[in-house]
Structure 1
Amino acid sequence: MSELIVAEKAPGKPAFSRRLFRLFKRKKVSDENNVAGYLFISPWLAGFLLLTLWPILQSFYLSFTDYPLLREPEWIGFKNYSQFAKDPLFLKSLSVTIAYVFFSVPIKLFFSLMVAILLNRNIRGISFYRTMVYIPSLIGGSVAVSVLWKNMFGLDGYINNFLSWFGITGIGWISNPQTALGTLILLSTWQFGSTMIIFLAGLKQIPKDLYESSGVDGASKVRQFFHITLPMLSPVIFFNLVLGIIGSFQMFNSAFIITQGGPANSTYTYALLLYDKAFKNFEMGYASALAWFLLFIIAILSTMNFYASKYWVFYESEGGKSK
């Protein structure tokens, strides 16, 4: 070290020694910065390793075992996965979940976009209106809201009481297999605040010059919506679509509290099946296999969405559709 310092200060010494000294000094500073960085992120890193990565690896291992919680796991290979086709509740829950995703995601996206467009206006008190519209989403996924929704759509709930003024009575919104899933889809649509905020942020990024130029050329509001708003907003739509599909496949609270999977398993979602197998039947190995199969489904759908996005998602920085 002393020789390097002398070489750095002494005149006439080779340039190689000076470069070596600077490289050593730069590496020492870089190592000190790395240590400080790891110290700052160590709480998060410890939480990720112990509370996220380790349970994921454990779940993957348990999916190949018979683990009833009361004894040690027993390795059974792919037997849990081979039982999917033989389990009638598996096929039923999967079909219910797919139907829920198929209807709830597009309806929620459409409703969120329409509300975002209404709130993207320069009028007095617009901040207050945005706050009032967003507030339900702060408590939208809570148990209290699910209980309130159950009371609203019960036989003696607020909805039937209101309809009775018009002579409409006796509608079992929750007790009827034909309408029970629809009430859960309606609840999902009501929880549109977060999606709406993202849409609103995207609308703010669209240059107003595009609307002014098209208006001069005689384009109507409808034409502007389909030829300017939607193309420019397509990355935000794609983002909300992917998140909406992932969240809808994991829907649990509403079905568990409002209908408990009934009536006649018409709202028996995939997450409910996973919960029952794990914490009611104590089939933890089979439940872990169900969880990994759900991950596989979400990964496949997300991959398909990313592949299809190049045909309809417009990125302004690339001058056209995604490549």
Structure 2
Amino acid sequence: MSIIIKNISKSYKKVKALEDISLEVKPGELFGLIGPDGAGKTTLFRVLTTLLIANEGVATVAGFDVITDYKSIRKNVGYMPGKFSLYQDLTVEENLDFFATIFGTTIEENYDLIKDIYVQIAPFKDRRAGKLSGGMKQKLALCCALIHKPKVLFLDEPTTGVDPVSRKEFWEMLKRLQQKDITILVSTPYMDEAALCDRIALIQDGKILEIDTPEAIVKHYPYQIYNVGANNMYQLINNLKEYEFNHSVYPFGEFVHYTDTRENFNPNDLKTYLESKNLSNVLIERTSATIEDTFMELAK
């Protein structure tokens, strides 16, 4: 295994950031750590990249122990933190040269690894990093994390605050990197990105809720979900929450995702109830579960 985590716990005074975390990431896998802000994703990344020491448990990365072999881990992993942390007063090329020098290599030596990404930022190689757009900063940070050809790549919320086009391009780059035998562990709060991973771990309040392929996790969802729409979204949500047979109610795009506690649920009963509350244009239709639905159910 490229990453093995056994019973890792980490506390900040009275706050338990991680609680008994165990998971494994296979060599060459694109593994996603999916959860909202404050779930413990960054803390786990810092433990695995030897920036923090866990209170309990053990972990290895690329076969090296995170405590006793921390120097070897730092030579063999690439780490892209959630906050842009390169030298903003240095140019694109100066940042790349600096990180290559630290790892005893050159841009030319591992150019084949970063070529697809570098060609997109090459026109701005003389621009200071702090003056780049969000998408270009992201690509520069990824190049710097890859410059020494790491065995394992850690990406902590790499697409947060980035436009949709850049997000799509970034995930396409990750798929190409995966083909070069690099194990990738990526964290994200975006549930739609979970489907792009080979396997995922859903995390909330420092605890793992479930680990499996995105398809398997969705398949485990136990209820039939309905899209419910009406002329007044705010009133619709409140009325659905007041309905005695509701199991779950939450907004999902232009609709509300609704599940019912009854096995013999009849949508017409719900429609009659909502219309009695003076709602109009009531629409109720079956829909399929998503990763977000599953997460909401597990986190309840």
Task: Compute the TM-score of the two structures, normalised by the length of structure 1.
Answer: 0.22
| Larger relative contact order (CA 8 Å, sep ≥ 6) | 1
Task: Compute the TM-score of the two structures, normalised by the length of structure 2.
Answer: 0.23
Task: Report the structure, 1 or 2, having the larger strand content.
Answer: 2
Computing the radius of gyration over CA atoms, which structure comes out larger, 1 or 2?
1
